[in-house]
A and B are shown apart, each in its own frame.
Chain A
Amino acid sequence: KNQVEQSPQSLIILEGKNCTLQCNYTVSPFSNLRWYKQDTGRGPVSLTIMTFSENTKSNGRYTATLDADTKQSSLHITASQLSDSASYICVVRTGGFKTIFGAGTRLFVKA
């Protein structure tokens, strides 16, 4: 069964600290993996996208990694800011029209 699992479900960190969010998938065939950020009350906005051959991709303070062998991805946030408080959603595309969404990790950044 195609699944995308994210951990932790929620996370609280202090402003300025780093954190890492995890995404494990059992999707086949694999096409690409994308991380979205969703602010409260808003639609998701894309952060990064990675294909099978890409191991790391950065977008400012966000760095995503992909290990296609172990089917794991992580999103690392450096020097967190209050505005990083949001849900982070991992999405994997298989063949055709199928995209599978993880349930998300809810991040709270405290001053």
Chain B
Amino acid sequence: DVKVTQSSRYLVKRTGEKVFLECVQDMDHENMFWYRQDPGLGLRLIYFSYDVKMKEKGDIPEGYSVSREKKERFSLILESASTNQTSMYLCASSQRERLETQYFGPGTRLLVL
């Protein structure tokens, strides 16, 4: 079974803190994605990576950065957390050409106070 794990299920941070969200997949997938999910807005793509050290901006990259030093790990970084970044963050992975077949992690619910 494909497994995508995220480092935390729930996280509470203060405004201005640096936040790291980690995602690991065990299926040797080339593509990895970070989304945020907010009520009524669906999933919105923040960043994705199609290879180690490669990254592409998604639809809402502002306020976020990413790191992919190893194929199995994709990190999302909030340099200075703000209250409007309170959200559910979902990581996903897929094979190189099978973008539509994404496997999702359980999500991290982040609250920024």
How many A-B pairs fall under 8 Å by CB?
A: 49
Q: Is the CB of A93 within 8 A of B43?
A: no
Also in contact, A103 and B4, with CB within 8 A (given A43-B107, A45-B104, A93-B99): no
Q: Is the CB of B100 within 8 A of A42?
A: no
The B interface, classified by DSSP as helix, strand, loop or mixed, is strand
Also in contact, A99 and B107, with CB within 8 A (given A89-B42, A89-B43): no
Q: Is the CB of B99 within 8 A of A43?
A: no
Cβ–Cβ < 8 Å partners of B106 in chain A: 41-43
Q: Is the CB of A97 within 8 A of B42?
A: no
Bound-state CA distance A61–B76 (Å) is 37
Interface residues of A (CB under 8 A from B): 4, 9, 31-32, 34, 41-46, 49, 89, 91, 93, 97, 99, 101-104
Cβ–Cβ < 8 Å partners of A4 in chain B: 42
Other-chain residue from B9, B100, B105 in contact with A91 (beta carbon distance below 8 A): B100
Cβ–Cβ < 8 Å partners of B48 in chain A: 97
B26 at the binding interface (Cβ < 8 Å): no
